[in-house]
Structure 1
Amino acid sequence: MSIANADVRLAENPDIVGKARTVLLHEADEIRQLAGRIGSAFEAAVHLVLACRGRIVVTGMGKSGHIGGKIAATLASTGTPAFFMHPAEASHGDLGMITAEDVVIALSNSGESDEIINILPAIRRIGARILSITGTENSTLSRESDVHLSAAVSHEACPLGLAPTASTTAALALGDALALCVLDLREFTAEDFARSHPGGSLGRKLLVRIKDVMRSGDAIPCIGEEATVQDAIQEITGKGMGFTAIVDKAQKPVGIFTDGDLRRLFVQGMTDSHAPITSVMNTHPKLLGMQQMAVDAVSLMEQHKINGFLAVNETQQLVGALNMHDLLKAKVV
């Protein structure tokens, strides 16, 4: 559809925005009502998940299955080992995924989904506990569960009252509440979260250390205390980091000299390139421990308006150097 035709369609259907708002407000209202019904059953569900010594196995058919997959993913990423099991596949061998140490979370709006009801006896024989989330209080699934949570809604947002909409939103929100309450009681931290998201931006920021991104060995721009400004220029040019460290005989940094320092010297009229570097270097270089988080370097760079750091070991010896390009390459920034 062209933009022009789209404009015509919008002009012919001025109530589209109003209908969309009606759907969103209805689903939000159903969740508010659900929040008001949270009580002892929810507490029991949280403790059931916390006490689980195995995994959380989430199952559901159709739209409930899609919601179940999201709940399993949220639990897994927040410190509770979990996975989704398709109930139709369960009766054809996938029940072997379940152990007596597990908790099965079963979702069904009606509470009567045949695929789930048919595997309940087998789950009981295995010894796993069952937590159900349904939209019907008195259903086969709710009665056969150790703990039941109601995700009942007054009616669906669908104008036909057929497509699962408000009910799936309520079940998803209830699953989020369960996962986050468990997270809180486990004292799960941002760093714990990052460990299960090493490929994400948070994982990179919270797991990558200075030693993982710094340049080391011969790549470190470094000269001794006896060096001259000329030596510093050659080292800066050769290593391409925009600065060089100055170290003593014990390989401990005593200063840093940057290309910015060099420009300032020329502006001030200095012409003697054979002057000792110790007479012009910055004697207070910013040092980072190689075990520190790389994100610390980003904060210090912003705070001090600098572009590079020297990295030291536990005995304060120079072991690395890094600049903003290294942090960008590692996607820490």
Structure 2
Amino acid sequence: MTEPQPVHSPSAATPRPLETALERLRYAREIVRSEADVLQTISKTLSMDAVRAAEISAEAKGLVVVTGIGKAGLIGRKLVATLASTGTPAQFLHPSEAIHGDLGMVRQDDVVWALSNSGRSDEILQILPALRQQASYLIALTSADDNPLAAASDCVVCLGKHDEACSLGLAPSCSTTAMLAVGDAIALLASQLRGFSRHDFARYHPGGSLGKKLTKVEQLMRPLSECRIATATSTVRETIAPSVPHPNQTARRTGAVMLVDADGRLAGLFTDSDLARMLQRRHDNLLDGPIEEVMTKQVQTVQSGTLLGEAISLLAGRKISELPVLDPSGRPVGLLDITDVVSLSEPQHNVVAMYPSRPQ
């Protein structure tokens, strides 16, 4: 059986029409394979120059200033965002604006990344003398070390020369994929060298579900003033009707009562589901008995200071609806309720599907 022929050839002056949906799909897959092949090659050929570039960037006393024109400029803007969000202060310098005054933003403590696949972009070459004079280091991300940009740089990270994936072999595709991947590698290595942590990431990403998961449970838990608390020696009836509230309780009720011992330490949990099961089994006589006889004693808890993402994983993994938050002595300081974290759950932690309803 003969292998299917490529639907295009980069050397063709005019690509042949893609007449069927299958041909179009095959073409799209060829593009993806071409770019994947480039990444596979780079993963084997990337040199120690990338490590040196990361070390220089991590040790920079000033900013990492990234510059590039056209598609390289767009890649540069993305790399600035990656650098800044992972602990390496960075900003983008547009070459055309640089020659009209923006070169003033480059200081002696700054490190410059100059991005150009060819290494011959006029806009980049125009500002090279000033960049060499003003910055502490000039790092080039370029296809090879035999071009003017490489010759002027202190550190050259070679991306390799790659055929573009488009049917004409012209539109930047494989080359920009290579530039982005290598830039990410340098930026994330620099972040690692700086000792950037999950807590640092949370500090730089306060918005959105990702940042919130890296905050501490105290940021989302219900404080004691919004929780139901009772002593373990109380009767079931005393606990649930009207339930023994914490002083100043103002928020809507949770689906569980935290039960504490004489020293205020968590002794157990009594949930709406526990009550429903008790009534379903017609154990009405237990309503006037000590709640400690029917409460859940083996309670999953977290310590104050736990990351919210870890708490969400516990809720989903253990299929529980409430998670008491304790201080180091075992006393409750709050409660994390499943309804408070639904919007932050991952698809694989489908908490909505797990808990379609709950007695109110």
Once the 2 structures are TM-superposed, how far is the Cα of residue 65 of structure 1 from its aligned partner? 0.5
Match of residue 222 from structure 1: 229
Pairing 1:264–2:272 present: no
CA distance in structure 2 between the partners assigned to 1:277 and 1:200 by the alignment:
40
Once the 2 structures are TM-superposed, how far is the Cα of residue 99 of structure 1 from its aligned partner? 1.3
Q: Deviations over 1:232-287 (max 9, x none)?
A: 12245985322212234443333322222223333443334333334433344443
CA distance in structure 2 between the partners assigned to 1:120 and 1:92 by the alignment:
14
Show the 5 A alignment for 1:285-296: 285-296=299-310
Match of residue 324 from structure 2: 310
8 Å CA contact retained: 1:158, 1:165: yes
Once the 2 structures are TM-superposed, how far is the Cα of residue 43 of structure 1 from its aligned partner? 3.4
- Per the normalisation by structure 1, the TM-score is 0.83
Show the 5 A alignment for 1:1-333: 11-12=19-20, 15-207=23-215, 209-235=216-242, 240-272=253-285, 273-328=287-342
Q: Deviations over 1:145-170 (max 9, x none)?
A: 11112224253333434322222222
Letter paired with 2:302: L
CA distance in structure 2 between the partners assigned to 1:74 and 1:283 by the alignment:
46
8 Å CA contact retained: 1:221, 1:321: no
Once the 2 structures are TM-superposed, how far is the Cα of residue 77 of structure 1 from its aligned partner? 2.8
8 Å CA contact retained: 1:49, 1:182: yes
Letter paired with 1:47: E
SS at the partner of 2:139? Answer: strand
Closer/same/farther in 2, CA of residues 219 and 56 from structure 1, 3 Å limit: same
Once the 2 structures are TM-superposed, how far is the Cα of residue 130 of structure 1 from its aligned partner? 0.5
Closer/same/farther in 2, CA of residues 202 and 15 from structure 1, 3 Å limit: same
Aligned-residue RMSD, C-alpha: 2.9
8 Å CA contact retained: 1:253, 1:318: yes
SS at the partner of 2:149? Answer: helix
Letter paired with 1:252: R
Closer/same/farther in 2, CA of residues 331 and 265 from structure 1, 3 Å limit: closer
Q: How many residues align?
A: 324
Closer/same/farther in 2, CA of residues 10 and 233 from structure 1, 3 Å limit: farther
8 Å CA contact retained: 2:226, 2:253: no
Q: Which moved more, 1:318-327 or 1:295-304?
A: 295-304
CA distance in structure 2 between the partners assigned to 1:17 and 1:299 by the alignment:
38
SS at the partner of 1:241? Answer: coil
CA distance in structure 1 between the partners assigned to 2:50 and 2:89 by the alignment:
20
CA distance in structure 2 between the partners assigned to 1:302 and 1:293 by the alignment:
15
Once the 2 structures are TM-superposed, how far is the Cα of residue 46 of structure 1 from its aligned partner? 2.7
Once the 2 structures are TM-superposed, how far is the Cα of residue 173 of structure 1 from its aligned partner? 2.2
Q: Deviations over 1:172-224 (max 9, x none)?
A: 222122223334444544444444333343322222x2222222243210123
Letter paired with 1:102: D
SS at the partner of 1:118? Answer: helix
CA distance in structure 2 between the partners assigned to 1:331 and 1:14 by the alignment:
37
Closer/same/farther in 2, CA of residues 123 and 225 from structure 1, 3 Å limit: same
CA distance in structure 1 between the partners assigned to 2:298 and 2:51 by the alignment:
56
8 Å CA contact retained: 1:217, 1:320: yes
CA distance in structure 2 between the partners assigned to 1:66 and 1:163 by the alignment:
14
Closer/same/farther in 2, CA of residues 172 and 282 from structure 1, 3 Å limit: closer
Q: Deviations over 1:39-83 (max 9, x none)?
A: 343333233223322111110011110111122222223332222
Q: Deviations over 1:93-141 (max 9, x none)?
A: 2222211111100112222222222222222232431011223532221
Closer/same/farther in 2, CA of residues 327 and 236 from structure 1, 3 Å limit: farther
8 Å CA contact retained: 1:236, 1:259: no
CA distance in structure 2 between the partners assigned to 1:122 and 1:322 by the alignment:
56
- 5+ residue gaps, structure 2, are 1-16, 246-251, 350-360
CA distance in structure 1 between the partners assigned to 2:128 and 2:169 by the alignment:
29
Once the 2 structures are TM-superposed, how far is the Cα of residue 12 of structure 1 from its aligned partner? 4.7
- 5+ residue gaps, structure 1, are 1-8
8 Å CA contact retained: 2:228, 2:244: no
